[in-house]
Structure 1
Amino acid sequence: MNIRYLLHNAYAVGGTIRTVFNQANALCATHDVEIASVYRTGEKPALPLDPRVRLVSLTDLKPDGTRWGGAGARPFNRTRLLRNPLPHGRDFRYSRFDPWVDLSVIRYMRSQRDGALITTRPALNLLSAWFAPRRLYRIGQDHMNFGSYRRRLQQRIARAYPRLDAVTVLTRKDLESYRAALGDRVPLSRIPNGIPARTARPVPAPGRAPVVIAAGRLGRQKGFDLLTRAFAPVHAAHPEWELHIFGEGRWRQRLTTLIDKHGLTGTVRLRGLTRDLDGEFAKASIFVLSSRKEGLPMVLLEAMGAGLPVVSFDCPTGPADVVDDGANGLLIPAEDVDALTAGIIRLIEDASERDRLGAAAAVTGAAYAMPAIVPLWEELFADLAAARTPADRVPVSGPPNPRRT
């Protein structure tokens, strides 16, 4: 089957991109898979992609509106944006869309003759719901959670998503939220994020450095300001331990200032982007997730798969689906900085508990490896095919019938 993914920017580094690349890499063995990137910020993708997966760019624009390759700028016209009648204006990425970009996305959708079109954020899901041809299996993925969206966007989702053929969510709680919002008007499936199957056993705890590791975009969502505050008492009690944060973003300077304010310069280190996060996991001793909100965090699954004991905020949503408090990690009340400090110190001071939780985390991570996730996608594809009637099938020759789209 032809499978087409639509990503905001396939050349960046983030959980949604890693998730889609993992899916594409796993499905390309038995399907024709292509990833279409609305924007482009690099010559090559930052993450590994199977050579059997095609990667195409729908525009030559970077997300800031300048052109890729130094061909000059194409700034967005905010007046046009505000007047744009297309239905995705409450997705926070909307400020990076304009009518020309929208048209490029719609043309790509309508050029597909058959197979599955999988869109990966609300703006793209809404465009697919309203404009993608019905001859495709139109699947909308949610990589965050329904409750995190503004009310106006939730209203647009409730109106448009029933036009899709299926919606996939990441967690049990989000499945309940979507059922409450959409009822039985569209098939809903819970398909968790998947991580690559590991080819080596996790490194034993004695071989790890006294390092706490975290990773994600440097912005408000990931809560690295909360983590920095939590680590100050950790440093006072255990000065030999360091906190390494991997990622980039607009909050780098803010975090640098906060690190200096708490006297943590040289102890809390902003390590930037890495192409080998798994290698960094293998060297660290504890992983911390300090997010204010999530979908189902890929980085948490990857850390657990690497055998790292985790300390995680119980933020909406995701961690509670994965972390069984005291069994394979520590689950901390959301945004409770003091409790986060206590959890980190607890694991620092108890090596045997780190060993026990890390071993259990590795078992949990294996349950989210792609060989366990691919059958869920295959089942969804089979269900969508079985649900089609002859009247649903639009001939693949000739242009799409506008009355059916």
Structure 2
Amino acid sequence: MRTLARKGKSAVVRLYRGYNRRKARTAPPPSTKQVRILLLHANGMGGTIRTVFNLASYLAKEHDVEIVSILKETEEPFFPIDPRVRFRFLDDRLNPSPDPLRAILSKLPSRLIPKEESAYHRFNLWTDLKLTRYIRSLDTGVLMATRPGLNLAMAQLALPSVITVGQEHVALRTQPEPMQELIKWRYRRLDALVTLTKADLRDYRETLPKKPKKLARIPNAVPPMSGGVAKLDAKVAIAVGRMTRIKGFHRLITAWETVAAQHPDWKLRIFGAGPQEENLAQQIAEAGLQDKVELPGPTSDVGAELEKASIYVLSSRHEGFPMTILEAMAKGLSIVSFNSPHGPKEMIKNEVDGLLVKPRTNANLAASIIRVIEDEQLRRALAAGALETARSYDVDVIGQKWDALLAELLARRDGTYVRPQPAQTPAVEVPAPRPPSGDGPSGEVTPPSP
């Protein structure tokens, strides 16, 4: 039976690949004019959504851009959107279609998305069907995906005539082992894989036995924000993020007990929402910090809130490439962050544009915050360094990297790509040795006449 099953599976794979080849022969020529970006839920809030909106807005200057959201669970987007960018929702859970097939399939677990994908519970057989139909409907243009489960589905389903780009917003080494195994074998089918950090790029280069045509590192860009630069005179520290254990806000609150004891006139504001919100509120109450630590909820205007603060604190256990650090830098805040090996370590130059703290050490985090509070000269120096660093993440600077990547991927497809030649070391002319005085032929010294 197993032999028959294997043969049957092989036959299906051969038929599928043959169908793809036939479709590719009749497909339009390769193009980057149309760019489609797959997101889990475009109307939600989070760093990935914000960065995708930012990228889509930049690309919309020269491309036809559509954000394709798997889910629609809120009526309006949390973040402002560029009117040039179109939106499509595959599974509208606010106004579900009366299709009886949907009623059945939406109750069954996904078979397309791996169980180890962190958002697996958001998918089902109905989203599998809608996503598969959408990906298979494309025969040209660029398709990007923005999380491992969607990258894997895209690699498996996209027609060969479509240029596929996988984005990774979390570090490879934080993925469960079964996900890493699938990544090793499926990502080779992508035209490009883009990481946010050099460390993650290095991990993929070392881990993937067969690589996509292009491995690249393109960091996030600073998004446009309202208001101006922080004045650094507010006795306020701020943190922003989804309230999950990985963000380490419980450690930050513990550290703030020490900060509040020495500087009771300073406040900590943690913006965001999530499953840990109630636990954090209880922790604040039990520590007697109700007047020292605030949980104002999520904000769609991060820039305005950063402008009202003087210090930004990042307490995450690990991060990919935290947008909030970039935003805080662009607002000229002093930054104190745990030294996560990927994002923060690459983004922050210790003692230049922020302070890096040994991870998961509450006492060290408190000590660094207190140091910035007490040393105004240091606070302003770090803020000035942060502003300078933020300039290298300007939207146009990062956008040009995407322009170059898309141009290269198109050139690889249409046969015009020319591999860059390694720089040649200029040859240095070595002068011929000068013959000694009285030389004869062949440089031999002629003996003197008798």
TM-score by length of 1: 0.90
SS at 1:239 equivalent: coil
1:158 matched to 2:190? The reply is no
Candidates 20, 35, 40, aligned match of 1:3: 35
What are structure 1's unaligned runs of at least 5 residues? 62-66, 391-405
Candidates 7, 22, 25, aligned match of 2:57: 25
Candidates 140, 143, 166, aligned match of 1:114: 140
Partner AA of 1:32 in structure 2:
D
| Distance in 2 of aligned mates of 1:369 and 1:199 | 15
Q: Which residue of 2 aligns with 1:45?
A: 77
| Distance in 1 of aligned mates of 2:230 and 2:312 | 14
Q: Which residue of 2 aligns with 1:35?
A: 67
Cα displacement (A) at 1:294: 1.1
> What does 1:236-315 correspond to in 2, within 5 Å?
236-315=261-340
- The Cα offsets for residues 316-348 of structure 1, whole Å up to 9 and x where unpaired, read as 420011110100000011111111000100001
Q: Which residue of 2 aligns with 1:396?
A: none
Greater mean alpha carbon deviation, residues 93-102 or residues 237-246: 93-102
Q: Which residue of 1 aligns with 2:229?
A: 202
Contact 1:145 1:316 in 2 (8 A): no
What are structure 2's unaligned runs of at least 5 residues? 1-32, 416-450
Contact 1:158 1:182 in 2 (8 A): yes
TM-score by length of 2: 0.81
| Distance in 2 of aligned mates of 1:327 and 1:212 | 19
**CA RMSD across the alignment:** 2.1
State percent identity of aligned pairs: 41
Distance 1:200 1:247, change over 3 A: closer
Q: Which residue of 2 aligns with 1:403?
A: none
| Distance in 2 of aligned mates of 1:297 and 1:71 | 40
| Distance in 2 of aligned mates of 1:259 and 1:75 | 43
1:55 matched to 2:80? The reply is no
- The Cα offsets for residues 162-198 of structure 1, whole Å up to 9 and x where unpaired, read as 0111100000110111111115521210000111356
| Distance in 2 of aligned mates of 1:23 and 1:142 | 14
Cα displacement (A) at 1:79: 8.7
Contact 1:175 1:188 in 2 (8 A): yes
Candidates 363, 370, 382, aligned match of 2:407: 382
Partner AA of 1:137 in structure 2:
I
1:142 matched to 2:168? The reply is yes
- The Cα offsets for residues 192-222 of structure 1, whole Å up to 9 and x where unpaired, read as 011135686513323xx21100000011111
SS at 1:259 equivalent: helix
Q: Which residue of 1 aligns with 2:6?
A: none
Greater mean alpha carbon deviation, residues 238-247 or residues 254-263: 254-263
Q: Which residue of 2 aligns with 1:402?
A: none
Contact 2:226 2:304 in 1 (8 A): no
Partner AA of 1:193 in structure 2:
N
| Distance in 1 of aligned mates of 2:39 and 2:283 | 33
Q: Which residue of 2 aligns with 1:400?
A: none
Relative contact order higher in (CA < 8 Å, ≥ 6 apart):
1
Candidates 46, 60, 68, aligned match of 1:14: 46
| Distance in 2 of aligned mates of 1:58 and 1:345 | 49
Cα displacement (A) at 1:85: 4.0
Contact 1:197 1:371 in 2 (8 A): no
Q: Which residue of 1 aligns with 2:216?
A: 189
Cα displacement (A) at 1:263: 1.2
Cα displacement (A) at 1:27: 1.2
Distance 1:138 1:344, change over 3 A: same
Distance 1:232 1:112, change over 3 A: same
Larger radius of gyration: 2
Partner AA of 1:205 in structure 2:
L
| Distance in 2 of aligned mates of 1:77 and 1:257 | 39
- The Cα offsets for residues 331-390 of structure 1, whole Å up to 9 and x where unpaired, read as 011111111000100001011111110011011112112111001111110111111157
> What does 1:350-389 correspond to in 2, within 5 Å?
350-389=375-414
Greater mean alpha carbon deviation, residues 135-144 or residues 381-390: 381-390
Q: Which residue of 2 aligns with 1:326?
A: 351
